Structure 1
Amino acid sequence: MSRSKSLGIALSLMLAAGSGHAADFSDPTWPCIQRKVPTLSVGLMWTHPLPDAPETDPDLKRDIDRLAAKLALRRLEVEALRPDIEEFAARHDGAPDILGHVFQRVFTTLSTRRARVISGIEEFSLSQIALSERIDTARAEMTRLTDAEDPDYDRMDALEEQLDWDQVIYTDRQSTITYLCETPTLIEKRLYSIAQILQQQIKEPG
């Protein structure tokens, strides 16, 4: 069986396994309905000038890092962290550079995490395609053995066991695809929400 045909079968199996997504068949590394956006632009989320140099004051840096680390925790709802942001901003008089440092820190953390998730999705997709090709090959061999005048029943038993196991693994893995595909988008939305709340606290110099 040709690789292109196997690829089509593999992607079809991904959809049949219950993802409910219309995969882009032109990119075998991306089985998601969500558009693949490999990298994010900080400038599209943060409308104010960002500081060019890192913060040098150790106490201020520690304060920035503490809030940024909390904002980067995806298990915490962004809106629930609004009081922390407001309290931080009030202590620092809504300084644009300081709030910009916070967002830069959060952006670096979450965009790096998002890139790792995308890389994981790509590896996942390729491993599923490889497993699908293994299943296709085993099925083709099983057909040849079944049609043979003198079938090798020991080999057929081994193939049947391999097929059963591979198909279970494939289906079990595939059940995670919806969550995997949603993760980069959820991280992106979190960054947008954090940027909006932080920017609402900025006090422009009068």
Structure 2
Amino acid sequence: MKLGTVVAICVLTASAMPATAADFSDPTWPCVQRKVESLSLGLMWPYPVDPEARPASDAQQSDIAELVGYLSLRRVELDTLQPRVSSFAQSYDGNADVLGMVFSDVFDTLSKRRERIIQGIGDFSLSQIALADQIETARIEMDALLDKSEPDYDRVDALEEQLDWDQVIYTDRQRNISYLCETPTLLERRLFSIAQMLQQVVQEQG
């Protein structure tokens, strides 16, 4: 990456980000948060989970799928999940194997969603780097034109207009970076909370 590009990114980002700066050593990760690409089910769920395990019946499979779909909805607040979890656990006597299948499916759904978001952040960051490079190139050309004894003012005007527009686009996009960077963390926290909720009913009813 060109030094000028890095400088342009830092200058433009400073107006749109908090005082804490991201580490640009990884161009695909502009976030302050540490990048964790993949999560581990075993770090969240203490009971054995057989990846080949299948529900004992169609009814059980339907119950698991319904609960998994509900738990995976980000718009559903965590505080509202407990009644559904408790009701499900009572139906299956707090069976750790059944609840393990529930968490395994929730983990698979949310961790894949999280990985797609991280990939999207990477694509976003690279597009911002490309735009910063374009801005820096236009600045260098404009400075070179202005240093001439007879500048091409039509070209200078065109470059200035392009620079103004590109900088507006860059800054406008950059305002979304805090939200984008927080989303993988929120999904990770949701998974931990769901794991703890399911573990609690296993311990209470198992």
Q: Could you tell me the TM-score, scaled by structure 2's length?
A: 0.93
Structure 1 CA distance for aligned equivalents of residues 180 and 68 of structure 2: 24
Give the alignment of 1:45-64 within 5 angstroms. Answer: 45-56=44-55, 57-64=57-64
- Equivalent in the alignment of 2:85: 85
Cα distance per residue 1:21-70 (max 9 Å; x no partner):
42112111111110000000000000111133242422211110110011
Q: Tell me how far apart the structure 2 counterparts of residues 60 and 3 of structure 1 sit (CA, whole Å).
A: 57
Q: Please give the root-mean-square deviation of Cα atoms over the aligned residues, in Å.
A: 1.8
Q: Match for residue 75 of structure 1? A: 75
Is 1:26 matched with 2:40?
no
In the alignment, the residues of structure 2 paired with residue 102 and residue 123 of structure 1 have an alpha-carbon distance, to the nearest angstrom, of: 32
Q: Distance in 1 between matches of 2:109 and 2:7?
A: 36
Asked whether the equivalents of residues 64 and 102 of structure 2 are also in contact (C-alpha less than 8 Å), the reply is yes
Query: Unmatched 5+ residue regions in structure 2?
Result: none
Residue pair 2:135, 2:163 contacting (<8 A) in 1 also: yes
8 Å CA contact 1:28, 1:126 repeated in 2: yes
Alpha-carbon distance between aligned partners in 1 of 2:105 and 2:152, rounded to the nearest angstrom:
63
SS for the counterpart of 2:16 is helix
CA distance in 2, matches of 1:171, 1:205: 53
AA of the residue aligned to 2:37: P
What is the aligned-residue identity percentage?
56
Letter in 1 for 2:29: W
Q: Counterpart amino acid of 1:159?
A: L
Instruction: Provide structure 1 residue ranges, at least 5 long, that are not aligned to the other structure.
Output: none
Cα distance in 1 for partners of 2:68, 2:40 equals 18
**For residues 129 and 18 of structure 2, what CA distance do their matches in structure 1 show?**
15
Alignment partners' CA distance in 2, 1:114 and 1:12: 29
1:180 counterpart residue number: 180
- Where in structure 1 do 4 or more consecutive aligned residues deviate above 3 Å? 203-206
Structure 2 partner of 1:130 = 130
Q: 2 CA distance for matches of 1:10 and 1:127?
A: 11
In structure 2, give the amino acid aligned to 1:193: S
1:105-116 equivalences in 2 (<5 Å)? 105-116=105-116
Structure 1 length-normalised TM: 0.93
Whether the 8 Å CA contact 1:24–1:31 is kept in 2: the answer is yes
Contact 2:90 2:205 (C-alpha < 8 Å) held by counterparts = no
What SS is found at the alignment partner of 2:39?
coil
One-letter code of the match for 1:118? I
SS of the counterpart of 1:64? Answer: helix
AA aligned opposite 2:175: S
